């Protein structure tokens, strides 16, 4: 029972860390609502795109059924690497292409072209989601996975409602963009560390050495540290 309770805050943290940028995109989309591009298209598209991200990440859970848990925990290095990359390489923030606000089509049903356009944006913007969810799913047992998925899909609705409300508060949206994104790398690193710890990876000396060496190599590749040979020269 305690593990299920722990899964809730871990799921909320993981979702929030990987979807801060979606708040900005959703806010922009809701600001374009008109007669042919409606709120239901945005909500439906967001759920479709997020469901696709979850499906792509589920193989991590299947792998966790085969491999030992401490080795699966090494996947926690993925969100750490993503967090370090975002922390040290902030110069370019790609802007996702928004779907057309008023496509020329009479079909405005539940699965309309507008919804697919939003879904495509959500999926294309979800590279980090896959990198975080796959190790998170791999380190989870089936009951925990069900709780995590329930929290995730509930928060998709919360995200859509929050973004809609932000369209009425431009000042808040601006502050969220300015101060929310800089916190994301640190949250991703914390999630990765949690996965390493929760899986028992750091209790194994060999795996601990592998984890430390991997983080060091990431820092070297990012140009933060120089190998000892280069420092001496």
Q: Is 157's pLDDT higher than 90?
A: yes
**pLDDT by residue (tens digit) across 9-33?**
888 888 888 888 788 778 777 877 7
Q: Is 158's pLDDT higher than 60?
A: yes
| Residue 65 confidence class, pLDDT cut points 50, 70, 90 | low
Q: Is 95's pLDDT higher than 50?
A: no
Domain residues of the chain, as ranges? 2-169+177-232
- Quote the pTM value: 0.62
- Poorest-confidence range of 3-17, 55-69, 96-110, 121-135? 96-110
What is the DSSP secondary-structure string of the chain?
Answer: -HHHHHHHHHHHHHHHHHSHHHHHHHHHHHTT--SSS-HHHHHHHHHHHHHHHHHHHTHHHHHHTTS-HHHHGGGGHHHHHHHHHHHH--S--PPPPPPPSS-S-S--STT-HHHHHHHHHHHHT-HHHHHHHHHHHHT--HHHHHHHHHHHHHHHHHHHHHHHHHTT-HHHHHHHHHHHGGGHHHHHHHHHHHHHHHTTGGGSHHHHHHHHHHHHHHHHHTTSS--HHHHH-
**pLDDT by residue (tens digit) across 69-90?**
677 677 678 778 877 887 877 6
């Amino acid at each position: 029972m305690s593990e299920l309770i722990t899964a809730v805050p871990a799921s909320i943290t993981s979702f929030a860390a990987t979807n801060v940028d979606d708040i900005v995109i959703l806010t922009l989309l809701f600001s374009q609502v008109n007669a042919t591009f409606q709120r239901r298209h945005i909500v439906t598209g967001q759920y479709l795109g997020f469901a696709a991200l979850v499906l792509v990440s589920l193989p991590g859970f299947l792998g966790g059924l085969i491999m030992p848990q401490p080795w699966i925990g090494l996947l926690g290095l993925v969100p750490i690497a993503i967090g370090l990359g975002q922390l040290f390489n902030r110069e370019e923030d790609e802007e996702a292409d928004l779907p057309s606000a008023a496509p020329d089509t009479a079909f405005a049903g539940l699965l309309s072209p507008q919804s697919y356009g939003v879904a495509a944006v959500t999926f294309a913007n979800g590279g980090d989601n896959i990198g975080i969810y796959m190790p998170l799913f791999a380190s989870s047992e089936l009951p925990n996975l069900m709780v995590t998925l329930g929290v995730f899909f509930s928060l998709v609705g919360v995200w859509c409602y929050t973004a809609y409300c932000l369209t009425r508060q431009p000042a808040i949206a601006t502050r969220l963009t300015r101060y929310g994104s800089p916190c994301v790398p640190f949250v991703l690193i914390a999630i990765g560390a949690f996965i390493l710890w929760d899986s028992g990876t750091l209790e194994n000396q060999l795996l601990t050495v592998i984890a430390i060496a991997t983080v060091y190599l990431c820092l070297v590749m990012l140009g933060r540290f120089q190998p000892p040979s280069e420092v001496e020269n």
